Amino acid sequence: MEIINKNISRRNFIKLGGLSGAALTLGFSTPAFGKESLTEIIKGDTAENLGIDLNAWISIDTSGKVTITNHRAEMGQGSFQSVPQIIAEELEVNLDQINIVFAQGNNKKYGSQITGGSSTIRGNYKKLLKLSATAREMLIEAAAKKWSVTKSECYAENGFVIHKASGKKLGYGELVQEASKLEPPIEVVLKNPKDYKVIRKSLARQDTPLKTNGTAIFGLDKKLPGMLYAVVERNPRFAGKVKSFDDSETKKIPGVKHVLKVNRDVFGNMQEGVAVVATNTWAAMQGRKVLKVEWDDTGFEHHNTDQLYAKMKEQLKGDVISYKTKGNFNAAFAKSDKKLEALYETPYESHSCMEPLNCVANVTADACEIWGPIQGPDWIQGSLAAHLKLPMEKVTVNMTFLGGGFGRKAFTDYPYEAAMISKEIKAPVQVIWTREDDMSMGPFRPGMVYQCKGGLDKNGAIAAFETKMAGQNMGTQNPGADKSGYNDSVTEGLLEPYFESIPHYSFGDSPLESPVPVMWWRSVYASTNGFALESFMDEMALEAGKDPLDFRRKHLGNPRYQELINKLEEVSGWKKRGKNEGYGVAITECFTSIVGEVVKVSKKPDGKLIIDKVWAVMDCGWYVNPNIISAQVEGSIVMALGAATKHATHFADGKAVEKNFNTYLMPRITDIGEIEVHVMDNEEKAGGVGEPGLPPFTPALTNAIFDLTGKRIRVLPFNLEEV
């Protein structure tokens, strides 16, 4: 068999024997950014011979133990359970036979390792299914050869290959040596979903015992011989510089070893601070308290919240950068039978993960190694290699479990800061952020202002639709960035069929300039877009004199969306809602999943509003574990509730105001009623799960409040008890 050019893919799988002794190891080589084209090795050659890194997903040793390399982070979203379930299904093993380990950062080997965009399953499930089925077929073939029978006479089950006629069986561990010598089959037959034994089952998560018995390793648990501990006094105005510092009192604290100026790379903008390094965390924190720093805060604006929103509103009065248009909005709007306009505001938000940022770094003369709660190990590897001027292979990034991420821990600033401190002190160091650091330093979810206009025809259908968005653009913060282009997330969250049913529309943005650093927050722009777009959809429905759910149904002709609406109507009892109950609906699309939510509200005897129940219908296409989906939707709803009714980050004199949970309030268990989640069954491709449940909640809630009280809420956050 001739060798296929290594840059051309003919099959999707690579077989490589002997990577871990006598073992069957299967994987695929994925180019950077996870592109679909896969490199292949033909029989007789190895990955090393061709200079190709193998993404070794599955390795089965002679004991029959299956080891899976998880190239993405586990931050509560459930990849430690979902990935093993996928592999166990087609490999025909029990979950207790599977061990899962974190991969190190390596973009060349694993492609994109960013745990974001709800992409871990939707980006890899087909490859994992095929890879597992390939391993199974190779093991069956090895057993058939041992027994001198045909493959069709054998089947795999529970980690064994069984001969149908005789009942003889061989464990996978007994077969791996022979199987590793075989050529992987070009094509394998995958199971019909109706035959799944493990996938689509609500199996208990395997990481839960680790997290309850204390054996799970989080970033703060990592210790190295000779490791020191650091905290950093950072400029509270983001763009300021260290003018001078007085560490005389700091150095009197027992255990303090070093005090030094340090930088943190935030989108290419070097934000400055002073690090206090000590033999223990307490000493470092006490040393920081008596450190005196004089800041140079000249040359940039010291915004407060009112100024930021006034600028955004003023910008919406002018021209915006056009992103997406169809027809002629202005002409169609002018001719519309009914017209309406509305302005919506959403706040800046902190990520406020339960685990604040932390990172361990050990930088030597010719290498760097990092440990910590990291969402993007490949990004961090690339960033550190560039900053330290080291070859990529000399930078090792190790993932631990994450106590929440929400996008913040995909950023490269905190590992960079830790690495620079380690390099300077010539020792391993653990940099620990306090809760106040974590909440006040950013980057934050950007605050936004939306201007929506809609025109209706004589039949009550949308004739013209316009949305203008003003706020900071996450993608143009780097020095020298091109700021003339549009923000391609202006329509994020809007259901795709609207682009077919609405004859005239216009979407554009007006980017705000501010030194406040901003970045991804769970569901990214959909978390703010969804509130404006689905609130306005509700307002148009009422202007048209239509039931809000029927109004959406009329504009969403695709059968998939119709089925979701029907399911949402059925489970919520939408048509049976009572007079003294407020019902609100919203449907959004995020990371190729569609989620519809209905919120029911009422008033307590004291007149205060209460959320009675939330119904959520998730259409994420192909899925793995219903319990994980329900948990992620529930978590998204609670996070959305906090951002809508409890907390926001405000700025005064260029500094974040809210610094801890006494002012940045979190939802309590009594703040929301029952949440009922339903998962649609269909043959669509897998979509995201960790984020899409968030965007529809807030508009569904505010639409329900209007239904009950007649009060339209267009500015977030609001106090539920004061409605």
User: Parallel, antiparallel, or unpaired for β 66-70 and 55-60?
Assistant: antiparallel
In terms of pLDDT, which residue wins out, 311 or 79? 311
Q: Do 522 and 606 fall into the same domain?
A: yes
Mark out the alpha helices in 12-58 (DSSP H runs).
47-50
Choose the final residue of a domain: 161, 189, 210.
Answer: 210
Domain presence at residue 531: yes
Sorting pLDDT into bands at 50, 70 and 90, what band is 46?
very low
| Edge-to-edge strand ranges of the sheet holding 338-346 | 321-326, 504-511, 462-471, 448-456, 338-346
- Does residue 133 have a pLDDT over 70? yes
Looking at the chain, the whole-number percentage of residues with pLDDT higher than 70 is: 93
The reported pLDDT for the residue numbered 12 is: 37
Choose the final residue of a domain: 163, 193, 210.
Answer: 210
Please state the rounded mean pLDDT for residues 285-289.
98
The reported pLDDT for the residue numbered 69 is: 83
- CA proximity to 418, closest of 367, 478, 357, 365: 357
Is residue 365 within a helix (H) or strand (E), and if so which, with residue range?
none
Please state the rounded mean pLDDT for residues 402-422.
96
672-723: pLDDT as tens digits: 999 999 999 999 999 999 999 999 999 999 999 999 999 999 999 999 999 9
The reported pLDDT for the residue numbered 36 is: 37
Please state the rounded mean pLDDT for residues 72-80.
90
Please state the rounded mean pLDDT for residues 624-651.
98
Is residue 192 within a helix (H) or strand (E), and if so which, with residue range?
none
Q: Do 203 and 224 fall into the same domain?
A: no
Q: Do 272 and 325 fall into the same domain?
A: no
Radius of gyration, alpha carbons of the chain: 28
- Does residue 4 have a pLDDT over 50? no
Sorting pLDDT into bands at 50, 70 and 90, what band is 57?
low
- Does residue 328 have a pLDDT over 80? yes
Domain presence at residue 459: yes
The number of angstroms, rounded, from the C-alpha of 639 to the middle of its chain's C-alpha atoms is 13
- Does residue 76 have a pLDDT over 80? yes
Range of the domain at 400: 219-299+357-432
Q: Do 482 and 581 fall into the same domain?
A: yes
Flag the least confident range among 30-34, 189-193, 343-347, 710-714: 30-34
Please state the rounded mean pLDDT for residues 112-126.
85
437-495: pLDDT as tens digits: 999 999 999 999 999 999 999 999 999 999 999 999 999 999 999 999 999 999 999 99
CA distances from 204 to 80, 81, 94, 549 (A): 11, 8, 13, 35
Q: Do 183 and 295 fall into the same domain?
A: no
Q: Do 449 and 469 fall into the same domain?
A: yes
**Structural contact between residues 190 and 90, judged by C-beta atoms closer than 8 angstroms:** yes
**Structural contact between residues 505 and 490, judged by C-beta atoms closer than 8 angstroms:** no
CA distances from 87 to 66, 67, 105 (A): 10, 10, 22
Task: State the sign of the Cα–Cα–Cα–Cα dihedral 499, 501, 505, 510.
Answer: negative
Please state the rounded mean pLDDT for residues 216-243.
97
Domain presence at residue 9: no
Looking at the chain, the whole-number percentage of residues with pLDDT higher than 90 is: 82
Domain presence at residue 2: no
Choose the final residue of a domain: 144, 177, 210.
Answer: 210
- pTM value surpassing 0.95: no
The reported pLDDT for the residue numbered 568 is: 98
- Does residue 349 have a pLDDT over 80? yes
Domain presence at residue 437: no
Sorting pLDDT into bands at 50, 70 and 90, what band is 35?
very low
- Does residue 9 have a pLDDT over 80? no
Q: Do 47 and 181 fall into the same domain?
A: yes
Domain presence at residue 641: yes
**Structural contact between residues 612 and 569, judged by C-beta atoms closer than 8 angstroms:** no
Q: Do 320 and 283 fall into the same domain?
A: no
Domain presence at residue 4: no
CA neighbours within 13 Å on the CB side: how many for 488?
2
Q: How far apart are CA 696 and CA 597, in angstroms?
A: 6
Q: Do 138 and 186 fall into the same domain?
A: yes
- Does residue 97 have a pLDDT over 70? yes
Sorting pLDDT into bands at 50, 70 and 90, what band is 277?
very high
The reported pLDDT for the residue numbered 506 is: 98
Domain presence at residue 1: no
Q: Do 592 and 697 fall into the same domain?
A: yes
Q: Do 523 and 626 fall into the same domain?
A: yes
| Token pair listed for 673 | 């009623």
List the CATH number of the domain containing 518: 3.30.365.10
Q: Do 18 and 63 fall into the same domain?
A: yes
Give the count of domains, the chain. Answer: 3
